[in-house]
A = this chain, B = another copy of it.
Amino acid sequence: MAKLLIVDDEPRIRDLIAKYAQYEGYETVQAQDGVDAVQLCRKNDYDLIIMDVMMPQLNGFAATKEIRRTKQTPIIMLSARGEEYDRIHGFELGVDDYVQKPFSPKELMMRIDAVLRRLSPKVESMKDVFHIEGLCINCSSRIVTVDGKKVPLSPKEFELLLYMVRHRGIALTRDRLLDQVWGFDYFGDNRTLDTHIKLVRKHIEPYSKYIVTLRGVGYRFEE
């Protein structure tokens, strides 16, 4: 479960971001300025930092520079429109993405996802909760809900769904799914996977449309 550090001098903005991030299953920690952020980073590890550019005491650039002396934590910058576009874009310390204020929380969440997926392929998507339309998958509680209603998935069904959601958008071969979810080395014609796909589809109705079958290949969970 990924931990985010949110750095902004405006408490309302911090809270807004924190609320959304928590909804998406991230753990959040807040810092009110650059000095605070640097101190926190010295003592703790975060998976990603969301940092405002304009802050009293130590601004976003200075804080980033300081943090980057010891840690390679991914950073997403928040900046007001027109503010220092060049510096941000070409920031030599390399921020991993930046979002202009005012931003939609949804967009920021997507950027967080994207940065984590790009930079931490090993931990895969570290989110604890996935929301796909009305389908919600909570990893730590292993609860799946469809339009707010809990659906009972068997362990295998849950693992299969989770694996597909974590690797959504790419074609997953039958071998890979069998390998990753079951741990077998697929031999011969085994209809186990198909059967479980069917069960998952039945359970997540009406969102089974997201699982598309790639004939002769496997399946893909649509993005």
Contact = CB atoms under 8 A, between A and B. Distances in A.
B154 A171 contact: no
A127 interface: no
A11 B91 contact: yes
Interface string A149-171: 00000111000000000000111
Contact of A155 (B142, B154, B215): B215
Given A11-B89, A12-B86, A171 B140 contact: yes
Given A154-B215, A215-B154, A215-B155, A142 B92 contact: no
Interface in A40-94: 86, 89-92, 94
A16 to B, nearest CB: 10
Copies of this chain in the oligomer:
2
Contacts of A12: 86, 89-90
B11 A142 contact: no
A183 B154 CA distance: 28
22 contacts: A10-B90, A11-B89, A11-B91, A11-B92, A12-B86, A12-B89, A12-B90, A14-B90, A15-B89, A30-B94, A32-B92, A140-B170, A141-B169, A141-B170, A141-B220, A142-B171, A142-B217, A154-B215, A155-B214, A155-B215, A155-B217, A156-B216
Given A142-B171, A155-B215, 6 more contacts: A10-B90, A11-B89, A11-B90, A15-B89, A15-B90, A140-B171
Interface of A: 10-12, 14-15, 30, 32, 86, 89-92, 94, 140-142, 154-156, 169-171, 214-217, 220
